Structure 1
Amino acid sequence: MEAMGVTAALGILLLLTAGGSTGDEAREAAAVRELLVRLLGPGPAAAFSVSVERSLAAESGLDTYRLSGGGAGARVQVLGSTGGRKLGPKPRPAPAPGYCGERDPPYRTGAPCTQSRDENGLYRYYQNVCTHSYSFLWWDWARWEQEIDWMALNGINLALAWSGQEAIWQRVYLALGLTQTEIDEYFTGPAFLAWGRMGNLHTWSGPLPPSWHLKQLYLQHRILDRMRSFGMIPVLPAFAGHVPKALTRVFPQVNVTQMGSWGHFNCSYSCSFLLAPEDPLFPLVGSLFLRELTKEFGTDHIYGADTFNEMQPPSSEPSYLAAATAAVYQAMISVDPDAVWLLQGWLFQHQPEFWGPAQVAAVLGAVPCGRLLVLDLFAESQPVYVRTASFQGQPFIWCMLHNFGGNHGLFGDLESVNRGPTTARRFPNSTMVGTGMAPEGIGQNEVVYALMTELGWRKDPVADLGAWVTSFAARRYGVSHGDAEAAWRLLLRSVYNCSGEECRGHNHSPLVRRPSLQMVTTVWYNRSDVFEAWRLLLAATPTLASSPTFRYDLVDVTRQAVQELVSLYYEEVRTAYLKKELVPLTRAGGILAYELLPALDQVLASDRHFLLGSWLEQARLAAVSETEAHFYEQNSRYQLTLWGPEGNILDYANKQLAGLVADYYAPRWRLFSETLVESLVQRVPFQQHQFDRNAFQLEQTFVLGTRRYPSQPEGDTVDLVKKLFLKYYPRAGSF
C-alpha cells in the first residue's frame, strides 16, 4: 500500500467488484466495505462512499474509476465502472491487428476529480505455479485473506487458485482403481507440490498426510469465495497428461511414455509418465478430474495446465505436439464448453533450441484462437512474443517474473519493466490482453512490484523513473526525506539497473552458495552505490526509524551491503590462497566466517521478516501432531537448502534468514577457510570434490536438525546496523 494511496487503490478495487447482477453487486459492495474496515478500522472506513456506474466505461469499454471529494471533512466519493465479471465466462475472440495500439487516452483529470482506466489490457494477472511452494506453502486463512486484500487493492483480476487439488486427484485415482498406498507414494511432500503439479517430480519428500488434504480443501473454498466476492477470476487446475506409474497396473494396455529426468533427480523421483494423447484414458482422466473439481469448487472457466514444463517432449514432430495439446484442451471442453486454457509460456523460453517455429505453431494452433491465453512469463528479460509473432494470434499477458526461488537480494531491471508493456502493446499485430506478475517467490524487492502494479493502469511508461522512485520513497515512509530519497536513487541506478544475461533473477552471491575457488563475484553495478545508499539510510534514522517499512529497508540494504562485503572478502581469501599467503588468508577468512556473517545474522534477527524461526513455525503450526510438525519442518529445511536428498538443486531457493546464516552458510564458510589454510600448511592441493563431500555433511546436519529458532525479533535494528556499519563501512572503500 505504500506505493498507492488508499483512495486510488479503492477505485481500482471497485473496478473488480462492479459487474454482474444486482445481487452480485450487493455482495461485492459488502466485500469492499469489509476490506476497508480490515484496512483502516471502522472509523476511518466510514469516510468513504463507494458506488458503481457501468456507464462510466461505456465509451471505451475499459475499466475506469473516479475519485472526488474528501476536502474539509467531506466523504471521499469513489465511483467504479465494470470489472472482473465483465470479462465473463464466454471466451473473448483474439484481438484484431492493432487492437492493443488503438486505445483511448489514459486519463482525464479535472478538479476535484481524478480518473484512471486499465490501459494495458483486460487482465492484471498474478502468481506463478511455483509461488504456491516457495511463498504460500504454510499459509493459513488469515495470511491468505491479507494477500487477497492486497491483490484487490492493486487491481488483480486474474489469479491462480490451486490449493486443494491433491484431494481431488486422490478421489479420481481411487475411482480409477489405485490404492491409497500407491497414491501416497505418488504425491510429493508439501514443499515440492508445485513441481508435482507440473509433472517434474513425484514421491520426493512425501507422502501427504490426510490432514493436509482436509485443510487445503477448507482453504481453497475460502480463497475462492473471497476472490469471487471481489470479482476476480480464479484460475483452477486442469489435467495436463501426467499420471502415476501405478495406473499401468490397473490398465496394463495403457499407452504411456516415461519422460526424462528433471532437476538432477533420478527416476526414483522424476521421469514422469505421460499419457499418449490418442489413448482412451486421456479424455477419461481429464474429464473425471475437472468434473470432480468443478463439482467441489465451481468454476470461472479458466484453467491452467502445463504438459511440457522444463521437460523435452518425446517427439518434436508437430503432429505429436498438436495432438498432445489438443488432448488437454478437449478434456477441458468435454466438461466445460466455455473453458479457456491459461498456459505458462515458460516452455518456449526455457528450451528455445527445441521449440522452433514449427513446434511452437503446433502448440499454439491446436487450440481455437482465443481459447488459449498465454503467459509470456519472463517478458521483462526474454520476451517470447517477439519471436512468435505475438504467439501467432493467441492472446497473451505480458508478465514480469523477476524472482527465482524466493531469493533475497536487491535486484531488478526497472527500465525494462517500465517500458516492456507499452512496447508489447505497440508490437505489430499485438495480441497482448493484459499485464501480470509471476514471481517464483514473493516478500522481496517491493519497489519492483509497486512499479509493475502501477503499469497495469498506464498507457505509457513512467517518464522519469528517478522522480518516480523518489516519490515511492516518500509514500513508503509517509514523509519526504532527502537522504532516504537519495538512497533510493542510488539503488535505482545500481541494483535495479541490470541488463541482458545479468537479469536472470537469481541470487548467485558467494554468501548463499557452497564455496569453491571458482565463484563469480562480478556484478553489473558499482558496489560503492550500495554502500553509499546504506550510509544515507542510516543517516535518515533519526527521522524515519519509527516507520516499520523504513526499518525493514534498513535491514534489507544492510543485508545487501554485507552480501557485497562477503564477495570482497572472498576475493581476498582466494587471492591469498593462490599466492600461498597464509596470514592474509587466515585474516580474510576469519573476518568473513567468524565476524561478518554472525553480525549479519544478528541484524536479520531484529526484523520479523528475516527469521528462519518464523518460516519453520508456520510449518509446524500447519500440523496436527508432533510427527507431522517434524515432517513439515524438514520439508521446509530441504527446500531452503539441498532441495533434494543429494543436493539436487543446491541452494536454489536460498534466503538470507537469521538462523540460516548462522547455522548453514557460516559453517560452510568456516569449513572452506579452514580447508584452504590446511591445504597451505600441509602443502597439498585443495580438493574441491572432497570439500563438497564434507560440506554436504554440514548441510545435511542442518536439514535433519531439530534446533528451534526464535520466531520473534530480537535486538534493536538501528543499534545493530550502526555497529556493523561503523566496523565495516570504512573497510568497503579499501577493497
Structure 2
Amino acid sequence: MKLLTFAVYMALFAVSSCIADFPQLSALRSKASSETQGQAVHGLLKRLIGERVSDFDIEIDSTLGPQDTFKLSSVENGRIKITATGGVAAAMGFYHYLKYFCYGQITWAGKQTMLPPVLPPLKTAVTISTLDKFRYYQNVCTLSYSSAFWSWERWEKEIDWMALHGFNLPLAFVGQEAIFQRMYLSMGFTQKELDEHFGGPAFLAWARMGNIRGWGGPLPQMWITQKLMLQHKILGRMRELGMVPVLPAFAGHVPAAIKRVFPKANVTRLGNWGHFNSTFSGTYLLDFEDPLFQTFGKTFIQMQTQEFGSDHIYNADTFNEMRPASSDPDYIAKAGKSVFKAMTAGDPQAVWLMQGWMFLSPFWQAPQVKALVTSVPKGSMIILDLAAEIEPVYQKFESFYGQPFIWCMLHNFGGTMEFYGVIDNINKGPSVARNFPKSTMIGVGVTPEGIHQNEVIYEFMAENSWRKEPRDVYTWLSNFTQQRYGQLNDDVNNAWQLLLGSVYNATDAHRDHDLVMITKRPDPKYDVTSDVWYNPEDVFRAWDGFVNASHALQGSSLFHYDIADVSRNNLQLVALIYFSEMVKAYKAKDIPTIEKNSASIVELLSDLNDLLCSNERFLLGLWIADAHFWATSTSEKTLLEYNARNQITLWGPNGEIHDYASKQWCGVVKDFYKPRWEFFSNWLIQLIKNGTSWDSYIFREEIMRTVESPWTFSTYPQRTEPSGNPIVKSTELHAKYRPVTKNEFFRKIWKDIQIGKKSKKGLGLYVAKISRMFSL
C-alpha cells in the first residue's frame, strides 16, 4: 500500500512538474471571482434539481489543491457540502455525488436526477483532484455537425454538461463572422465579397478552416448579428463557471477579393478540398511573410478582444486537411512563426491551440511536424492529439518535441449514430501518455465531430480526468446502468456488458463513419462485411436483454431512448442480409429475388422510421425547426432549411461528401433513404432487363437528380413531436426481426473474423482514405 501511495504521489508530482515547465499555461486561469463561480454553480444545480439545491452548500476555495479539486462532506441538517477550487470542480463534485451516492446521470439524451428524500450521508469526506490542468471539449466541426442551429437554451444545457463532466477548456467559436466582417469591411472589402467568402450556416466550420468558400451562403446578416449576441451569453456563462474559453485567431485564409483591395498582396490559391470544384473551393491563403498577415492577425485579435474580452488562448488551423505550398521545413517554420507573431501582436499573452489532426496525413513527417511545433516558444502552443484513442501522434513525434499536448478522444465522425467505441484504448491511453518518456501531456480532451450518440463512451471518457489508473470496465458499467435508470436490473446490465465487450471495443482500427450500409448510397460493390468487426450475436442478445428489461424500466426516459437506439442498431444489421441477397441475385440475374429482398429492405426502413418517430431524440423535424429559429424572412428560412437538409445528406451541391454526416432520423429514413433504396433495386432490375452493366457514374447522376437533390430542396413539414411508445415499437420489431438474425450470414462473418480471413481495416488504409478524400 505504501508503494502504491508513493507511486500515485510521484505520478501527481510528475504531472504538476510538467505544467510547471510552461509558465504561460500555468497563468491561464479563470478571472471570475470565487463568489461569481459559486453563484454560477448554484444556478446550474437549480436548473437540474430545482429547490433541492438548498440541500447543497457550495464553497469555492482556490487553495484546496494545485489542480482542480473538490471535497464532499456531510454537514448539519442532512446537507452535503461541496468545497472546490473553482466552479467547474464544484460542478464535478456535485455530479460525482449524484452518480456514486444517488445513482443519477445527466447526458445529452436526458437526465436521471431523482434524489432520495434524504440525501445519503458521507461517513468520511471524499476528496478528488484532477490529474492534469486542462480538460478540453469540442472539435471545430462540432459547431456545424451538431450545434449549428442551437439557441441559447440549448447552449445553456451544453455548458452545464461541460461543467458537470469537468471540461474547463471549451472551444468558443460562435459569432466570429461578425468580427471578421467588421475587420474586412473596415479595410475596404464589400459585403458582396464577404458573401462569397463566408460559408453557409451549416458549413461554417470548413469555411473557417479555409477548406471551402461561399458554399451554402450567403450568410444572412441577421444570422451574423444574432450569433454575435449569442456568443456573449456563451462566453459569459463559461467564464462564470471558471472555464477558460478558446477563441479563434486569424489563420491566413482571406476573401478572393484580396487582390482588388490590396493589389500588392502576396497570396496563394490552395488546392480543391473534398471533391469540391473551384467554385466553392481553392481558397486563398495570404503569404506568411506578407506584412498584411500581421496587420490582419493583429487587427482581428484586437477587435475580438474589444467585443468579447480574452482569456489569451486561441485556435488557428492553417493547414487542416489542406496541403501546404511547400514541404520545406523552413517554409513550415516561417508559417508557424507568422501565425503566432500575429496572435501576440494582438495579445502579448497569446497561447496558440492547434488541432493535431493534420499530422495523420502522410505529408506531415518528422521534419515538417518539428518545424511547425518548434516555431514558437515552448509552452506557447498546445497541440490537440485529436484522435489519440485510435492513433496517438505524440508517440510518433517525441511528445511533440517538447510542446505540451492534450490526449483527445475523437470517436465520432460527422455526427453519425451507430454503436461504436474503443473502450480499452480509452481506458488505458491517457495513463500510457502520462508515463511516456519526457511526456508533455497536460490534459485530456473530448473532440467528436458530432455529439448526441454513444453516451456510454463519453461518460467513461470524462472520468479519465481524475482516474489514476485504468478501471475494471465491467464494474464501472454496473454503476453506469444503475445511474442511468435509477435501479439495478440484471437483464439490461447484461445487455450493456455484451455491447461494451463487442461493438464498443473495436480492435482493428474501424472508424464509425464507414460502418452503416443503409445510410450509404447503394452500390453492388459495397463490402457488407466492412460493417462488422465484432460478433453480431452479442448485439442481438443485447437487444433481447433490453426487451426483457422493458417492463421493469418503462418509467425511465433514458431507457426509452436506449431501447430505441439498440433496436435501431439491430435493424441496420438485419438490412445487411437483405442487401447481400440482392447483390447475389443481381449477379445471377435473378429478378424475383432482387424484388423480394428489396421489398424486405423497404419494409425494414419503414419500420425503422416508425421506431425513430417514437422518441424526440431521433426527429429530423427538430433539426429543421432549430434552423428555422434563426430566420427573419421567408428567403432566410428556405436557405437555412436547405443547409440543414444538405449537410446530413449530399454535403455539397453535387454530393461532394455525400452520406458522411448521415443521420438515422424519423423523416430522413422515410423520405430520403427509403426512396433511394427503391430507386436502386429498380435500377438493378432494369440493368438486367436491358443487358447493361453497372456504371457508378451514371447511377450517381441519376439517383442524385431523381431522389437526392430534390429532397434537399424540399420544404414540406417534418414531425417535431414523437409519436408512439419506443418500448412497444421495439418489442414488436424484436419479435418480427429477431428470428431473421439467426442466419448463417452473421455466423459466417464472425467465423471469418476469428480465423483471420476478413481483412482488417488498419491505420494505413484509414489514412489513405482520408488522403484521397481531402487530396492531401
Quick check: TM above 0.5? yes
User: Is structure 2 residue 136 aligned with structure 1 residue 113?
Assistant: no
Question: Residues 419 and 569 of structure 2 are in contact (CA less than 8 Å); yes or no, is this contact kept in structure 1?
Answer: yes
User: Is structure 2 residue 72 aligned with structure 1 residue 67?
Assistant: yes
Distance in 1, Cα, partners of 2:161 & 2:547 = 29
Aligned to 2:450: 441
Aligned to 1:515: 522
Aligned to 1:605: 613
Aligned to 1:146: 157
Aligned to 2:623: 615
Between 301-310 and 706-715, the greater mean CA deviation after superposition: 706-715
Distance in 2, Cα, partners of 1:716 & 1:358 = 58
Of residues 83, 87, 99 in structure 2, which corresponds to 1:79?
A: 83
Question: Residues 269 and 285 of structure 2 are in contact (CA less than 8 Å); yes or no, is this contact kept in structure 1?
Answer: yes
User: Is structure 2 residue 427 aligned with structure 1 residue 423?
Assistant: no
Distance 1:565 1:483, change over 3 A: same
User: SS in structure 2 opposite 1:374?
Assistant: strand
Distance in 2, Cα, partners of 1:713 & 1:365 = 53
User: Is structure 2 residue 86 aligned with structure 1 residue 54?
Assistant: no
User: SS in structure 2 opposite 1:397?
Assistant: strand
Where does structure 1 lack aligned partners over 5 or more consecutive residues? 1-17, 87-108
1:355-402 C-alpha deviation (Å, 9 max, x unpaired): 111111110111100000110000000111001100000000000000
Distance in 2, Cα, partners of 1:52 & 1:718 = 44
Question: Residues 590 and 673 of structure 1 are in contact (CA less than 8 Å); yes or no, is this contact kept in structure 2?
Answer: no
User: Is structure 2 residue 666 aligned with structure 1 residue 675?
Assistant: no
Give how far 1:579 is off. 2.4
Distance in 1, Cα, partners of 2:435 & 2:163 = 28
Give how far 1:507 is off. 4.2
Question: Residues 395 and 431 of structure 1 are in contact (CA less than 8 Å); yes or no, is this contact kept in structure 2?
Answer: yes
Aligned to 2:326: 315
Write out aligned runs for 1:476-495 (5 A): 476-495=484-503
Between 673-682 and 720-729, the greater mean CA deviation after superposition: 673-682
Distance in 1, Cα, partners of 2:390 & 2:30 = 38
User: SS in structure 1 opposite 2:135?
Assistant: strand
Kindly provide the amino acid, as one letter, of the partner of residue 235 in structure 2.
L
Distance in 2, Cα, partners of 1:85 & 1:218 = 28
Kindly provide the amino acid, as one letter, of the partner of residue 81 in structure 1.
T
Question: Residues 509 and 567 of structure 1 are in contact (CA less than 8 Å); yes or no, is this contact kept in structure 2?
Answer: no
Question: Residues 255 and 284 of structure 2 are in contact (CA less than 8 Å); yes or no, is this contact kept in structure 1?
Answer: yes
User: SS in structure 2 opposite 1:56?
Assistant: coil
Distance in 2, Cα, partners of 1:110 & 1:146 = 29
Kindly provide the amino acid, as one letter, of the partner of residue 68 in structure 1.
S
Write out aligned runs for 1:168-179 (5 A): 168-179=179-190
Give how far 1:138 is off. 0.5
Give how far 1:62 is off. 2.2
Aligned to 2:255: 244
Distance in 2, Cα, partners of 1:277 & 1:692 = 41
Distance in 2, Cα, partners of 1:302 & 1:683 = 63
Question: Residues 212 and 283 of structure 2 are in contact (CA less than 8 Å); yes or no, is this contact kept in structure 1?
Answer: yes
Distance in 2, Cα, partners of 1:292 & 1:732 = 60
User: Is structure 2 residue 543 aligned with structure 1 residue 538?
Assistant: no
1:23-74 C-alpha deviation (Å, 9 max, x unpaired): 81111111111111111002x11000111333321xxx22221111179x51
Distance in 1, Cα, partners of 2:258 & 2:224 = 21
Question: Residues 35 and 60 of structure 2 are in contact (CA less than 8 Å); yes or no, is this contact kept in structure 1?
Answer: no
Distance in 2, Cα, partners of 1:441 & 1:487 = 25
Kindly provide the amino acid, as one letter, of the partner of residue 536 in structure 1.
G
Between 440-449 and 685-694, the greater mean CA deviation after superposition: 685-694
Aligned to 1:260: 271
Of residues 266, 281, 303 in structure 1, which corresponds to 2:292?
A: 281
Distance in 1, Cα, partners of 2:682 & 2:734 = 27
Aligned to 1:643: 651
Distance 1:199 1:110, change over 3 A: same
User: SS in structure 1 opposite 2:379?
Assistant: coil
Give how far 1:691 is off. 2.2
Give how far 1:20 is off. 6.8
Aligned to 1:126: 137
Give how far 1:19 is off. 7.7
Between 693-702 and 681-690, the greater mean CA deviation after superposition: 681-690
Aligned to 1:505: 512
Aligned to 1:572: 581
Question: Residues 30 and 243 of structure 2 are in contact (CA less than 8 Å); yes or no, is this contact kept in structure 1?
Answer: no
1:205-249 C-alpha deviation (Å, 9 max, x unpaired): 101111011110110000000000001000000000111110110
Distance 1:560 1:70, change over 3 A: farther
Give how far 1:510 is off. 1.2
Give how far 1:326 is off. 0.6
Distance 1:27 1:674, change over 3 A: same
Aligned to 1:390: 399
Where does structure 2 lack aligned partners over 5 or more consecutive residues? 1-27, 91-120, 746-776
Distance in 1, Cα, partners of 2:288 & 2:87 = 37
Give how far 1:83 is off. 7.0
Question: Residues 73 and 122 of structure 2 are in contact (CA less than 8 Å); yes or no, is this contact kept in structure 1?
Answer: no
User: SS in structure 1 opposite 2:438?
Assistant: coil
Aligned to 1:12: none
Question: Residues 418 and 512 of structure 2 are in contact (CA less than 8 Å); yes or no, is this contact kept in structure 1?
Answer: no
User: SS in structure 2 opposite 1:222?
Assistant: helix
Q: Percent identity?
A: 46
Kindly provide the amino acid, as one letter, of the partner of residue 73 in structure 2.
S
Aligned to 2:197: 186
TM-score by length of 2: 0.86
User: SS in structure 1 opposite 2:709?
Assistant: helix
Question: Residues 408 and 507 of structure 1 are in contact (CA less than 8 Å); yes or no, is this contact kept in structure 2?
Answer: no
Aligned to 2:742: 733
Aligned to 2:667: 659
Distance in 2, Cα, partners of 1:402 & 1:383 = 13
User: Is structure 2 residue 700 aligned with structure 1 residue 692?
Assistant: yes
